[in-house]
Structure formats: C-alpha cells, structure tokens
Amino acid sequence: MRREIAEQADVIAGLGADPTQFREAAEEAKARGIRFVVFAGRGTSDNAAVYGEYLATILAGLPAGLAVPSAATLYRAQIDLRDCLVIGVSQSGETPDVAEYVANARQAGAFTVAITNAGDSALGRAADRTLVLGAGQERAVAATKTYTAQLGALALFWGAWVGDQSLLDALREAVPAALATAVRLEERIRRVAALLRDADRLIVTGRGYNFATALEIALKVKETCYVAAMPYSAADLRHGPIALVEPRYPILLLAMAGPTCSGMVELYEELCARSAQVVVVTDTDVDFRAAVETVRLGRVVPEPLSPLVAVVPGQLLALHLSLARGLDPDRPRSLRKITLTR
Ligand code: F6R
C-alpha cells in the first residue's frame, strides 16, 4: 500500500502525458447530444464516481447522478437511457453489477464509457468506449493509485469535454508535482496516527469536489484500521449528525481553496467550540490554530483537481493508523481485491 501511494505522481504524469483517448471519447459522446450523465461504481470506484458527478455538473453543466445498479440487475427495471452518458468505473473491470449495469445501459440507448485498469475485462467489453488507466497492477487490497488514476481519467475526460487546456496541462505537470510533495508529509501523518491510535470513531468531512475525498478517506480508514469512520459533506454534517460531536470527538476536516473554503472554516470553528479533536488538511494558508494538527499541502492545484492531492494525507493516515494499531494494512480482514456483487 505504501509503495502504491508513492507511485501516484508517476501514474498521473503517465496518464496526463497523452490525453488522446479521453479527447476522442469526449468528442464521440458529445456528438450524441448527451443530456444526462449516470455514473456506476462500487467502493473506491463509487467514490471516484462521486467526483465524476461534480465534474460533469460543475464543469459541463450537465445534470448527473449515481446509478441504481439493483434496478437493472435485480429488479430488471426498463430504464430509458436515451440521451444519457453512462460511465462505469471499476479498477478490475470485474465487479459484476457495474459491468451488467453498463451492458444493460448500452442496450437501453445510452452511450457507455468504461474507466478501468483492465481494458480486457467484463466492464471493458460491455462499454462503447474503454478508457484505460495504465496504473500498473495494484496489489494492495486497499485501492490507492487506481483511485487517483480514476480521478485523473475523469478530469481528463471532462477537461477535454469543455476544452479546458489549463486542466489538461495541470494534470501533466502541477498535479504530479503536488502528489510528489504530498507523499513527503508522511512523518507529520505518522504523528496524527499516533494521536488517533485509540480512536474507535472518526468523522471525515469535506465539501464540493472534496466530498469524494471525505468518502474515500473514510473508506480507507474503515478497511485498514477497523475504525468507524463516517464521511459527511460539511453541509450534511451540520444538518443533524453534528449532534454526535462531543469533546475530543476525532474529526478530519478538508479545507481546500475555492468556493467551499469559507464554509469549511465556519464548520471548523463550530467543531472547535464543541472541543472536538480536529485535524485539518488544507492547501490554504488559513490559520487553524485550535486544530490538534494542520496538514498543509504545499502546492496548490486548480480546485477541480484538488481531490487528487487531498486524498494522499488520508491514504497515509489509513496506512499509519493501521500500523500504529498493530494491524497489517495489506491484509485487511475479510476483504478481497474483487468483490462479487449483483
Ligand atoms: C477499496 C476497495 C474496494 C473496491 C471495490 C470495487 O479500497 O478496494 O472498495 O474499490 O470492491 O472494485 P473495482 O474497482 O475493481 O470494481
């Protein structure tokens, strides 16, 4: 897991070096007059799908949502997917309900795209277009480099869709550089892990593009540390679950530059007023002096790409919290690399 976390800068640089497949797929999809986008994925790939929803909606102005796989695979619903783009996301390409959803969607009139690390897979064969991550084999059960590669692929696709050359350029250079810098935060994260070693719960919160980051960090912590980590959008947290927060409640708060930042700072203040134990991950220079630790991401990338970098401290936290608890992050109990769900 540690090695694959460190590989992410190279994986994204490799992906960004040649955006051709993403541009072609985006052009082909646009030519179909797409009106709605549906994303399908499970686990980490579902978290990447959430990021995709934000890109499609914010950048391309298209309504977007997550698939309901059981509607197709168990309820056999006839879903009218004309004028829809369906994007299936799966590292292995072998998650059965994702592949089946995409195969059905293609028959139901959707234009279908697969994003996968295994082009020759059930998902790859099901879709009209397959975008291959080229991340190299991922050995750790807990996905890391394929998650950032999925984010990179989605950003390249939607960056090409709207013709935003600055996003494509940043994926080639600024993001790999920021990933390489983020990996060097390991010592600081080890300190955070020591602080949280005996925690049995954790709230992870972010907003906007980084809601996906909160989902993914919470999943990694659950899988590798067996800590009940709950992800919340900052808005949802304030609508009820914040009642859980009592003194010393551990919180990981993502405060990234952009339109969500001032709300995250307000939430931070509210949580500190409740004497929660707040760890902040930020790429801003806001002074979070009441936080127990502030993890500063040294380099700022365009906000839509910030989830590729902001997830790294969370991946390192899952790794080091697992080790601090005497666990083996490479052997999470009762998990396999491919889970067969229908
Ligand atoms: C998380 C993890 C799982 C997978 C999920 C989907 O670290 O490994 O949650 O993300 O089983 O797998 P793929 O992406 O192969 O469809």
CB of 150 closer than 6 angstroms to any ligand 1 atom: no
- What is the spatial order of strands in the sheet that 201-206 belongs to? 228-233, 201-206, 250-255, 277-282, 293-296
Residue 311 CB partners (closer than 8 Å, separation 6+): 147, 148, 151, 213, 216, 217
pTM to 2 decimals? Answer: 0.98
Q: Give pLDDT tens digits for 73-121.
A: 999 999 999 999 999 999 999 999 999 999 999 999 999 999 999 999 9
CA 196 – CA 63 distance, rounded (Å): 39
| Average pLDDT estimate for 255-278 | 98
The pLDDT value given to residue 342: 87
Phi, psi torsion values for 293, nearest 5 degrees: -160, 140
Is the four-CA dihedral 295, 299, 300, 301 of positive or negative sign?
negative
- For 122, the token pair is 């059930």
Residue 177 is predicted with a pLDDT of 97
Alpha helices of the chain — where are they, by DSSP H? Answer: 2-6, 8-17, 20-30, 43-54, 69-73, 96-107, 122-126, 145-162, 165-172, 174-183, 186-195, 211-225, 234-238, 261-273, 306-324
Residue 142: partners with Cβ closer than 8 Å, 6 or more residues away: 1, 220, 223, 224, 318, 329, 330, 332
Distance in angstroms (rounded) separating the CA atoms of residues 312 and 252: 13
- From the CB of 315, is ligand 1 less than 6 Å away? no
What is the dihedral sign for C-alpha 25, 29, 35, 37? negative
Q: What is the pLDDT of residues 324-338, one digit of tens each?
A: 999 999 999 989 898
In the 8-state DSSP scheme, what is residue 243?
Answer: G
The tens digit of pLDDT for each residue in 170-197 reads 999 999 999 999 999 999 999 999 999 9
Q: What is the side-by-side strand order in the sheet with 111-116?
A: 64-66, 36-40, 84-90, 111-116, 129-132
216 CB under 6 A from ligand 1?
Answer: no
Protein residue whose Cα sits closest to atom 7 of ligand 1: 142
**Ligand 1 near 112 CB (within 6 A):** no
- Grouping H, G, I as helix, E, B as strand and the rest as coil, residue 329 is coil
Instruction: Output the CA 132–ligand 1 centroid distance in Å.
Output: 16
Residue 300 predicted with pLDDT over 90: no
Asked if 145 and 162 count as a contact pair (C-beta separation under 8 A), the reply is: no
